Each structure stands twice: as C-alpha cells, then as structure tokens.
Amino acid sequence: MTTDHHTLSDQKLSDHKLSDHKLSDQTQSDHGGDDATLRFRSVLRTFASGVAVVTIADRTGVHGMTASSFSSVSLAPPLCSVSVNKLSLLHERPSRMHTLLSDTGDRFGISILAEGQSAVADFYARRPWASSAEIEMTWSDGCPLVAGALAWFVCRKWAEYDGGDHSIFVGHTLDSGTAAEPGLTPLIHHGSRYHQLGGPLAHTDGPEGDARR
C-alpha cells in the first residue's frame, strides 16, 4: 500500500468526551426529540463497540465518516456492513456519504481505529461531509484507508438496504489486514465517550482466551 502524507496530530486518549450524537451521524430523525426516541438512544449508548471510519474517494478528494455501526455479516462470501444516515446535518439534503455510497459501483474502505486515533474519529464524527486532506491515508487498489488503523477492509458495494432513517450498506471484502505495529489495541466507544480496552478476564479457557460461560 502507498501512503499519502497528510497528517492530523494524534490526540492522547483519556476517556475523551464526545458529543451526545451517535457516531455514525450528527443528525436526529424528524422525531429525534420525542421521549421514546431519546430513551432508545440512551439505551443504545450502553452497548460498547469499536470505532470505524468509512472512506471513499471522488474527484474532489477523500471523504470519511465515523461509524460505530460497523458489523460483520458473512464469512462466505466475506461481507461486512455499515449504516449511514440518509440526511445531512440539517435535513436539507441527502448526506454526502450516503450519496457517495449509493452512487458508487466501486470500492470503499473501512478502517478500525486504534486507541490513539480518537482525534481522527472526532474529526469525521463532526465533519462527515469534509474531504480529508488533513488525515494521513494509505491506498490499496485505489481505495483510501486511514493510516495507522488497527485493521482495514477494502470493500466493493454488494447491496444496499433500507433501514428507516438510515441505509445499510453491505460490502464484499476484496482485501483486509491488520496493523503491522504489534501491541495496538482498539479505540472503544461507550456512553458517548472514548475508552481504552481493559485487560482480559481472569477466568478464561482455550488458546484463544474464550471467556468461560
């Protein structure tokens, strides 16, 4: 992979406070202020997850979006998914990332961020429409990926499904890999904050460290 040397200085991770918006979008639905929706949002915040950045290039540059909605879908074929808000910040038009993913028949990237990359996550959470001239990128087969990420996937869009105020984009993984630097740990998102990964449970069995049930 080649590297595009534009950098955003790393932000030291120390239980960094995020805005109260969901990472994968900076908007609320039309009924985002009602009690049921606010309660649902509050319950969702109890689920801890890693943090991913979706990247795609067009003629204006590389665009990215921070998402906690990344998920594996299938091993054969190798599929993963991400949910993207249909509307922009003020509901005035379709969101930039949604439009780019809907229109593409080509590749897009998914980067799983390491714990030292909270500044990258915050940049794309607050500016999902921005091109990423400030962010260091690597390139694989014409696909942009966040440099220094814990893991990465090069995907071709496999399907798009309606998901209420979001669309669910499923990508067929063409290539994937993990960081060359040993000892990296993931950036964790929980309760609208970034966290460091804790240590393993004391009681585990098996060579993979599977937790006992």
Residue 208 in any domain: the answer is no
Q: What is the mean pLDDT of residues 45-64?
A: 87
- For residue 38, give its domain range: 2-196
Residue 6 within any structural domain of the chain: yes
Least reliable range by pLDDT among 7-11, 65-69, 156-160: 7-11
Kind and range of the H or E run holding 104: none
Check pLDDT > 90 for residue 133.
no
Q: Which amino acid type is present at position 84?
A: V
3-state DSSP of 147-186: CCCCEEEEEEEEEEEEECCEEEEEEEEEEEEECCCCCCCE
Quick: pLDDT tens for 62-82: 889 998 789 999 999 999 999
Does residue 209 sit within a domain? no
Give the model's pLDDT for residue 48. 80
pLDDT digits (tens, 9 = 90+) for 37-48: 888 888 877 778
Q: Assess if residue 176 is contained within a domain.
A: yes
d(CA 114, CA 187): 5
CATH number of the domain bearing residue 41 = 2.30.110.10
210 domain-assigned: no
Structure tokens of 162?
A: 């309606």
Which is more confidently placed, 105 or 137? 137
pLDDT at 112: 96
Tally of domains in the chain? 1
pLDDT at 77: 96
Instruction: Tally DSSP H helices, then E strands, for the chain.
Output: 3, 15
Quote the Cα angle for 9-184-210, to 5°: 150
- How much of the chain, in percent, has pLDDT values that exceed 90? 36
Q: What's the pLDDT band for 148 if we cut at 50, 70, 90?
A: very high
In a domain, 204, yes or no: no
Position 22 confidence tier, pLDDT thresholds 50, 70, 90: very low
Residue 60 lies in a domain: yes
Across residues 144-170, what is the average pLDDT?
Answer: 93
Give domain status of residue 213, yes or no: no
Structure confidence at residue 212 (pLDDT): 45
